[in-house]
Amino acid sequence: MEDEPPPQGVSAKALEATLLSALKMLDVGKWPIFSLCSPEEIKLIRQACVFGSAGNEVLYATENDEVFVLGMNCSGCLGTGDMQSTIEPRRLDSLCGKKIACLSYGSGPHVVLATEEGEVYTWGHNAYSQLGNGTTNHGFVPCQVSTNLVNKKVIEVACGSHHSMVLTSDGEVYTWGYNNSGQVGSGSTANQPIPRRVTSCLQNKIVVNIACGQMCSMAVVENGEVYVWGYNGNGQLGLGSSGNQPTPCRIAALQGIRVQRVACGYAHTLVLTDEGQIFAWGANSYGQLGTGNKSNQSYPTTVIVDKDRVIEIAACHSAHTSAAKTQSGQVYMWGQCRGQSVTFPHLTHFACTDDVFACFATPAVMWRLLSVEPDDHLTVAQSLKKEFDNPETADLKFLVDGKYIHVHKVLLKIRCEHFRSILNNDDEIIEMSEFSYPVYRAFLEYLYTDNIRLPPEDAIGLLDLATLYRENRLKKLCQQTIKQGICEENAIALLSAAVKYKAQDLEEFCFRFCINHLTVVTQTQGFADMDHDLLKNFISKASRVGAFRN
């Protein structure tokens, strides 16, 4: 898009909408599970990871850092607080606004996620303590892992089948979970219930990259050496043997070769050197080493990918597939391809290695958290979003519940009729007592972003505000948020709010939910405390739709 001034007569809102629609979108259409999402939902996705034993679970983040999940929910791996599968996206409120930096998953499955702040959250299968919380109880909601990671910023995460590994900004590696083959690198085969630093010969090394196979672990240090530990029955450690390794051991065969990245498949390993060359070793029953045969290799073996320099390698611990991207943008794959064996690197028509796993791998999962590539240029919409609550540029403060919210008068006047009528140039601080801090902050942030971030209970207060300020679009967004967060416990409260604020569509939705879950809803405290007139109307309406028929 050229940098031209907008044509006369175009509103700020229309301009913002145009710019938002021009933002890069994530191409997730090749993963079948996204057929459950509407085109409108898919347009908002900026990060995604498809995982699970059959690619039947997905977590994604939207442009305003909301996090959603959907799918089978095996072992509670969606983090929704239960084990109910869902074909409609459910929001993970505890992760919204966190800004996901990286994510990995195990076979249970369990999920390990790091935020841009370096915090680590885990949830899902935990029979082997792979969540790092000291227990073997499954985790149904994301919980922060803090033991031994306090004051540490995690910059990379990796999962094996049932063990977990993280890399900190100061080059330290921490592991926990299943350890039957020494994959946590502690020197024993006892499971490790909490994160502990991997030391041994990594003690004084700065690690720059990590990866996990099903039951093995790998680390690349800053001088390009590769250290390996764990299960080695297929030669996946590259040590020239098949014996397990309970502590990190350097791959001597790579002496003099500077490795930049390592990637692990189910039982095979790929590394990428600083010269753009690939070495592979380990299991090869599907040709996943790319050597032209199906013989396992316990030593690093060169993989010939045309004559071009390779800039990216890809493998996933749940699959026997390998992929690579060259400097000229060509993508190659080898190994298991929809049940068939491809023993040499095969040129595909894809533009990214992610598509290889969507279309060829079994299961069709993602080998990494897929993200829209960052663009240094900020659009008008992005710039406005960035300036919300910025004290350095703001010229007005709202004082709500003892806390300040920093805003810009001109933007408020442009975006909201209410502020056009009440703001004047002398205002510096405005006290607000009619609404709570979370509600009023969400409203002001909406004026900068066109989106809201609130749990459903707080969205009721925002619905009240939207009604008072005659913000019809905001009312619709509040109703959507409430619909997404309805459950048996809060259904009556949300129905009452819908009636109070004359939100007819929401009222009908809440009423239908109550009828469909009538037995449980009528046993909640909300039903017991229900307003008398509302209760009479509810019973009458429920009777008319046949809720009390024998």
pLDDT in tens, 388-398: 999 999 999 99
- Evaluated on CA atoms 145, 94, 484, 99, the torsion sign reads negative
* Model confidence at 82: pLDDT above 60: yes
- Sorting pLDDT into bands at 50, 70 and 90, what band is 375? low
Q: What is the percent of the chain with per-residue pLDDT over 70, rounded to a whole number? A: 94
Same domain for 366 and 394?
A: no
Between CA 519 and CA 372 the distance in angstroms is 45
User: Is 13 part of a structural domain of the chain?
Assistant: no
Please give the pLDDT value at position 518.
92
- The CATH number that applies at residue 423 is 3.30.710.10
User: Is 233 part of a structural domain of the chain?
Assistant: yes
pLDDT in tens, 202-214: 999 999 999 999 9
369 burial (CB, 10 Å; 0-12 / 13-18 / 19+) is: buried
114-128, 367-381, 444-458, 513-527: segment of lowest average pLDDT = 367-381
Total number of domains in the chain: 3
* Model confidence at 353: pLDDT above 90: yes
How is residue 445 written in tokens? 């942030």
* Model confidence at 6: pLDDT above 80: no
Mean pLDDT, range 84-106, rounded to an integer: 96
Mean pLDDT, range 452-475, rounded to an integer: 88
283 burial (CB, 10 Å; 0-12 / 13-18 / 19+) is: buried
- Sorting pLDDT into bands at 50, 70 and 90, what band is 21? very low
User: Is 345 part of a structural domain of the chain?
Assistant: yes
Same domain for 275 and 408?
A: no
Mean pLDDT, range 288-314, rounded to an integer: 94
Q: In which residue are the tokens 């910025």 written?
A: 390
End-to-end CA distance of the chain: 64
Between CA 414 and CA 271 the distance in angstroms is 54
Please give the pLDDT value at position 504.
83
Mean pLDDT comparison of 203-207, 456-460, 482-486, highest-scoring range: 203-207
Last residue of a domain, one of 147, 165, 198: 198
Mean pLDDT, range 400-405, rounded to an integer: 95
Between CA 358 and CA 438 the distance in angstroms is 40
Average pLDDT of the chain to the nearest whole number: 91
* Model confidence at 116: pLDDT above 80: yes
Same domain for 235 and 185?
A: no
Please give the pLDDT value at position 308.
82
Please give the pLDDT value at position 77.
97
User: Is 7 part of a structural domain of the chain?
Assistant: no
Same domain for 219 and 367?
A: yes
* Model confidence at 13: pLDDT above 50: no
- Sorting pLDDT into bands at 50, 70 and 90, what band is 161? very high
- Sorting pLDDT into bands at 50, 70 and 90, what band is 382? confident
How is residue 87 written in tokens? 């074909």
Mean pLDDT, range 146-150, rounded to an integer: 94
DSSP 379: P
Between CA 302 and CA 299 the distance in angstroms is 10
User: Is 166 part of a structural domain of the chain?
Assistant: yes
Same domain for 189 and 337?
A: no
* Model confidence at 114: pLDDT above 60: yes
Please give the pLDDT value at position 550.
59
Mean pLDDT, range 402-414, rounded to an integer: 95
The model's pTM: 0.67
Same domain for 469 and 516?
A: yes
- Sorting pLDDT into bands at 50, 70 and 90, what band is 483? confident
Same domain for 538 and 469?
A: yes
- Sorting pLDDT into bands at 50, 70 and 90, what band is 20? very low
* Model confidence at 267: pLDDT above 70: yes
Q: What is the percent of the chain with per-residue pLDDT over 90, rounded to a whole number? A: 75
- The CATH number that applies at residue 70 is 2.130.10.30
DSSP 442: H
Return phi, psi of residue 243, to 5°: -85, 145
* Model confidence at 471: pLDDT above 80: yes
Q: In which residue are the tokens 């498809």 written?
A: 50
Same domain for 173 and 236?
A: no
Is residue 32 reached through a cis peptide bond, with omega within 30 degrees of 0 on the bond before it? no
- Sorting pLDDT into bands at 50, 70 and 90, what band is 101? very high
Return phi, psi of residue 319, to 5°: -135, 165
* Model confidence at 25: pLDDT above 80: no
Please give the pLDDT value at position 304.
92
28-42, 88-102, 122-136, 182-196: segment of lowest average pLDDT = 28-42
Mean pLDDT, range 123-134, rounded to an integer: 97
Mean pLDDT, range 310-331, rounded to an integer: 95
User: Is 491 part of a structural domain of the chain?
Assistant: yes
Please give the pLDDT value at position 201.
93
Please give the pLDDT value at position 275.
84
Report which residue type is found at 487: C
Tell me if 44 sits within 8 A of 63, measured CB to CB. yes
Between CA 363 and CA 137 the distance in angstroms is 26
Last residue of a domain, one of 164, 198, 232: 198
Q: Which helix (H) or strand (E) holds 31?
A: none
* Model confidence at 467: pLDDT above 80: yes
Please give the pLDDT value at position 509.
83
7-21, 183-197, 215-229, 535-549: segment of lowest average pLDDT = 7-21
Same domain for 303 and 397?
A: no
Please give the pLDDT value at position 133.
96
* Model confidence at 307: pLDDT above 70: yes
Q: How much helix, strand and coil, in percent to the nearest 5, is found in the chain?
A: 25, 30, 45
Higher-confidence residue of 458 and 138: namely 138
Over the Cα atoms of the chain, what is R_g? Answer: 27
Domain extent, residue 139, equals 25-198
* Model confidence at 7: pLDDT above 70: no
Between CA 383 and CA 142 the distance in angstroms is 31
DSSP 274: T
Between CA 416 and CA 11 the distance in angstroms is 13
Same domain for 326 and 438?
A: no
* Model confidence at 195: pLDDT above 70: yes
Which residues are registered as beta bridge partners of 51? Answer: 57
Please give the pLDDT value at position 374.
56
User: Is 17 part of a structural domain of the chain?
Assistant: no
* Model confidence at 4: pLDDT above 80: no
Last residue of a domain, one of 371, 405, 438: 371
* Model confidence at 18: pLDDT above 60: no
Q: In which residue are the tokens 């031209």 written?
A: 4
Which residues are registered as beta bridge partners of 228? Answer: 218, 249
- What 396-399 contacts at long range (C-beta under 8 Å, 24+ apart), as own/partner pairs, is 396/423, 396/427, 396/428, 396/429, 396/430, 397/428, 397/429, 397/430, 398/429, 398/430, 398/431, 398/432, 398/440, 398/444, 399/429, 399/430, 399/431, 399/432
Same domain for 99 and 144?
A: yes
- Sorting pLDDT into bands at 50, 70 and 90, what band is 26? confident
User: Is 57 part of a structural domain of the chain?
Assistant: yes
Please give the pLDDT value at position 376.
58
For 136-165, b where at least 16 C-beta lie within 10 A, e where not — what string? eebbbbbbebeeebeebbbbbbbbbbbbbb
Centre a 10 Å sphere on the Cβ of residue 100 and count the other Cβ atoms it contains. Answer: 21
How is residue 327 written in tokens? 């400097």
- What 357-360 contacts at long range (C-beta under 8 Å, 24+ apart), as own/partner pairs, is 357/314, 357/316, 357/319, 357/321, 357/323, 358/30, 358/31, 358/50, 359/30, 360/321, 360/333, 360/336
Same domain for 366 and 386?
A: no
Please give the pLDDT value at position 24.
58
Higher-confidence residue of 427 and 353: namely 353
